[in-house]
Structure 1
Amino acid sequence: MDVRQVVTDRIIAMLEKGAGVFRERWTRAAARGVPRNGKTGAPYRGANVLLLWEAAIEAGYASNVWLTYRQAQSLGAQVRGGERGVLCAHFERRAREHLDDADDVLSEGGVDEAPLTARSGARAGVLLCRPFWLFNLAQIEGLPLEVVDRGVTSPAASQGPVERAMRLLGGCHATIRHGFDRAAYLPTLDEIRLPWPRQFTSAEALCATALHELVHWTGHPERLNRSFGRRFGDAAYAFEELVAELGSAFLLGHCGLVDATVEGHAAYVDAWLKVLRADRTAIFMAARLAEEAFAYIVAREMPALGEAAMD
């Protein structure tokens, strides 16, 4: 099985539903939290997050907590008959001592890193991508109570979604200027430009649009230094928009802005589909970069008023 291709095909199918559909679904799923393992508590990463979010929304699961079949058995539980798991991707990096060492890995859908490291002088390796399957807590019977409790969504924070978004924006200290005809981030000036607040349809839409541009802002050389070189060519701009799309979905879910829309942005879906169809590794890169941007922004979130007073 070429796991990368299978996962890429599934993401493509999501995007083909249309921007309005996948944005709403991913953001609503994100409001339930990052998917995590019910036994270890560890969060899932990268493209696996998108796959699990989509599966949770499609099936109507109440939680974003998942287990492998064996983990369920180890807890004295059992996946119900007829239930289907969600295929996810696990990456392993192996050292490559000899030229022929990569052959078996490449036959399993792995990537030979020698061409990527030849110029840098770094030691070449092989990146192996293996499949594994996850089941939601709702698909499993006989789970211990403490595991079931992990799947119960905690009550919403006392702070509203708009306030939380403003704390993210304020904590990053990005230069934001209003009074322009459209929203944009200008790397040369390192500033975010937005229309006047009254021009947005709602405060939620203003926050959603500003957070989208804030993801672009993280890519500046003085921050995460996000660049794609010649890999995507003319599609590099569209690929950066895909990173911002995913990053802002993470942020909107984090804030609880589940019904907000990013205003003033053209649809890049066709360009994203072109990139993903040509490169089966692109979605993994985009998801990883989006996660990095999300983590960078959340780490700078201003404390709530009550939390600041307690400090």
Structure 2
Amino acid sequence: MVTDRIIAMLEKGGSVFRERWTRAAARGVPRNGKTGAPYRGANVLLLWEAAIEAGYASNVWLTYRQAQRLGAQVRRGERGVLCAHFERGAREHLDDADDVLAEGGVDEEALMARSGARAGVLLCRPFWLFNLAQIDGLPLEVVDLGIAAPAASQGPVERAMRLLGGCNATIRHGFDQAAYLPALDEIRLPWPRQFTSAEAQCATALHELVHWTGHPERLHRSFGRRFGDAAYAFEELVAELGSAFLLGHCGLVDATVEGHAAYIDAWLKVLRADRTAIFTAARLAEEAFAYILAREMPALGGSGSIA
């Protein structure tokens, strides 16, 4: 069911889902209103899409039971967003199971330690989330979580350049199209003046930077054994999702990744053949996003000078 929903998003076309995911990402990663934990993997895509579709201003969510525990109530007729939680083996007992599921991305080893479950088959459990806008009677401190923080003082291009500069990737200009070459471990781009805007240049470079994180000396992504001839298309899906995280983080919500082929048909073929592929792609995209974000150059102070 989750894979079918992601496929439906992709079938809307690249310009549609890319803009929607990037705009949703600009609001931050969805998180739980009781635990504060961020959601992970494909759940992020599902919650982003739901928030944009319904026009929610908040990226904060609760389960029905969590809302009740806070003295609030989901309004009659509201529909929750189906999400997926993965765990290994059968659980004998787990305290606060609702909270664990609601977090949407608990570390497997920590979950196993708390539950006493034996390692075994990877199980998928569904759970449903409601946006703060669907709930009445919430405490003020929870409502405040859903109020967007003030926009960063740095512009989108500056934030993108701090990510690119912090990673210190080899970037060479003067080529017909953008690409990352794993054998040379370098990113190739057209000349800056060939892009339609500085925002488009940054968006394209960040897309290739996600590819750069997959090098064996970094995150070492390799899909040949699992996807065979479709491995290249799957890597492009990881880069598409990872760049959506990055563009949203920087505020490049209207930027276009230029000179980049559309792989939608290939992605759909992969997802229809492997019903768990989207969960892997989303997880790897998050890893790439976190890797790049951890290396972000600090912003310069508004006053003063560099000696």
TM-score normalised over the length of structure 2: 0.90
Q: Is the 8 A contact 2:210 2:242 kept in 1?
A: yes
Q: Percent identity?
A: 91
Q: CA deviation at 1:112?
A: 19
Q: C-alpha distance in 2, partners of 1:241/1:49?
A: 18
What's the secondary structure of 1:225's corresponding residue?
Answer: coil
Deviations 1:132-189 (A, max 9, x none): 0000000000000000000000110000000000000000000000000000000000
Q: CA deviation at 1:125?
A: 1.7
Q: Is the 8 A contact 2:172 2:189 kept in 1?
A: yes
Which moves more between the two structures, 91-100 or 78-87?
91-100
What's the secondary structure of 2:297's corresponding residue?
Answer: coil
Give unmatched runs, 5+ long, in structure 1.
1-5
Q: Is the 8 A contact 2:203 2:252 kept in 1?
A: yes
Q: CA deviation at 1:229?
A: 2.8
Give unmatched runs, 5+ long, in structure 2.
none
Which moves more between the two structures, 189-198 or 113-122?
113-122
Q: Is the 8 A contact 1:96 1:102 kept in 2?
A: no
Q: Is the 8 A contact 2:41 2:105 kept in 1?
A: no
Deviations 1:58-106 (A, max 9, x none): 0000010000000000000000000000000011112799999999999
Q: C-alpha distance in 1, partners of 2:183/2:304?
A: 35
Q: C-alpha distance in 2, partners of 1:60/1:107?
A: 22
What's the secondary structure of 2:175's corresponding residue?
Answer: coil
- Is 1:212 aligned with 2:212? no
Q: C-alpha distance in 2, partners of 1:255/1:207?
A: 10
Which of 274, 284, 288 aligns to 1:289? It is 284
Q: C-alpha distance in 1, partners of 2:35/2:108?
A: 31
Which of 301, 304, 308 aligns to 2:304? It is 308
RMSD: 5.6
Counterparts of 1:84-99 in structure 2, within 5 Å, are 84-94=79-89
Distance 1:219 1:138, change over 3 A: same
Which moves more between the two structures, 182-191 or 90-99?
90-99
Distance 1:260 1:308, change over 3 A: farther
Q: How many corresponding residue pairs?
A: 306
Distance 1:150 1:107, change over 3 A: closer
Deviations 1:175-204 (A, max 9, x none): 000000000000000000000000000000
Q: C-alpha distance in 2, partners of 1:102/1:207?
A: 42
Distance 1:187 1:40, change over 3 A: same
Q: C-alpha distance in 1, partners of 2:97/2:37?
A: 30
**Deviant stretches of 4+, over 2 Å:** 95-124, 306-311
Q: CA deviation at 1:256?
A: 0.5
